Structure 1
Amino acid sequence: MTNGTRRKQDELPAYVPPKVGILSRIPASWVPYGELMRIDKPTGIFLFYFPHLFGTLYAGLLPGSSQGSPMDLLFTNGILFFGTVFSRAAACAWNDILDREYDRQVLRCRLRPLARGAISLTQALGFTFFMTIVCVGFISALPLDFAKAAFPSITLLVLYPLAKRFTDFPQLVLGIQIALSFFLGIIATGYDFSTFFERTNATQRNSSLIAMIFFYAANVCWTVVYDTVYAQQDVKDDAKAGVKSMAVRYRNNARGLLVAVALLQVGFLAATGFYESLGISYFSLSCGGTTSAMVWMILTLDLNSPAECMWWFKNGCWLVGLSITGGLGYANLLASGRRS
């Protein structure tokens, strides 16, 4: 760090321990670890979790589904949610370990625990390992096939921070990883894909496969949208620090990028409904709700305002997540009624 950079850093506000929220209620020595796992920023937990939830609801729509009781579904989602809390904590800690030098150059990130020196690299690595072990404990409560299928997702999660060094499309890498949770959610319910391939006729099987691929692609697009909006907060600092992202690459036409990806997302959701014959409730809630949220964001969001980008990142999570959940949930309810 140059002397000029040090002087600029010294002129910035110093770290102030949290006075409100969950971090203000825990021992001071635990606060850096709470910050490392972003326990005070739960939006990321739900963005990681929603595709799992989508998968558990979607499983009841698939050929040969014998989905259990509502309590079984609730229990499965409880395991997935709390497992997500710890997997997301491990991912955030791992991200901060690899990004610590970059974080010191980014205004919003410069006071993160590793960047400001509140904990050592060894402590951060130990914490990451502990969070991973806890997450594995939750995975062990799910079907064995879940652990096998989770390996590609975990691998991508480990590699994601490196994508910001070597490609302009880390949001796409993250989207591919997070969207895999849709398939993990299906597997978590105990749905047997061997039954799907062996006992369904070719027409039904192909239609359902196409529908699942489109739904997966819609989740990839959703992640690209919200993470690009999130990255807009740091676009100037990232460009100076050499951090690559779609926000940096398309900073002169970020709104055009968001329009294109949002259109793809809605189109993929609609195609899923068409190929899976999900009915008017799905199109109204999942497709209509997502379209409304995206149109509102694109027309009103000031991409040059970090505060507005953060507001939409937090609230867009619920607008889109609950819209898709509502459509799938209602379709699942109807399918359950037909099975009984």
Structure 2
Amino acid sequence: MTDWSSQGERGSRFAVRLILWIALHLGRAPARLLLYPITLYFLIKAGPQRRASRRFLTQVLGRPARLADIARHLHSFAATILDRVFLLAGRRELLDIRLHHPERVTDRVAAGQGFLLLGSHLGSFEILRALAIEEARLPLKILMYPTHNRIITELLHALNPAFADSVISLASPQPLLAVQENLQAGRIVGLLGDRYMPGEPTVICDFLGRRAAFPTGPLSLAAVTGVPVILPFGIYRGGNRYDVYFEILAERIELDRARRKASLQEWIQRYADCLAHYSREAPENWFNFYDFWEDADDERGTSQRAR
């Protein structure tokens, strides 16, 4: 699998600032017109991302992905980034956001119960973060590495300083202590469970019929803290429409001491199965633009030898 963390960030600070200026001063409709040349640019210039999109879509659709499929895929990704700007600028009325089973989150917040919100790069996890900041009702903290996508992140932080305040940095001296303190205070801690950093422990799970590595850290953290785990999926439907789903993975994760690794893998497989379900339901929302499967390198080698 290609190391996603080694992928360079595309786009200059000037270009991103220009798009933000158009969005905030001219409105959503003119800004969305820019998504078409942006999509064309990535189709032409972003070879690794384009090929990764083709491989994923071919797998999930069960047929060879067409160029139009890849274009819709890239367009959806760009659209969700643009909409994040409007949410952070307090313009939620521009978006049609439908929440499915929000009580799975709000009831716990009302009861002062801390829990983990285990997201992914399927759909817009950031729409939940933006909603929490914009409405100031969800006490959400995000556990993340702040160095990835630095240009966009810095500009969004400048747009809404509360965006930066919601981060628990994995680069800080004691991030897990901060996580525990926030959970004990009845806050939500959000993190992503579908990517791992080089050297991080992983387990192999089935994902859409192929082998993929998932990090063990998120669900190990859930087992240690003993808090509920909820899976959010912010699915972009096109235009200004989003469906946000909340799935309960577990009220508490307990690992069998005699078979801890196997028990942990079973829980991670449940996460992967839920991720696969929503991937099939909304394939254009898959925003991991790199070789996700463990056998991707073998597959390319076989293809090249066949040619």
TM-score > 0.5 by shorter chain: no
Structure with larger Rg = 1
Q: Please identify which structure carries the higher helix content.
A: 1
The structure with more strand, counted as a fraction of residues: 2
Task: Say which structure, 1 or 2, has more relative contact order (CA 8 Å, 6+ apart).
Answer: 2
Please report the TM-score for the alignment, with normalisation by the length of structure 2: 0.31
Q: Calculate the TM-score normalised by the size of structure 1.
A: 0.29
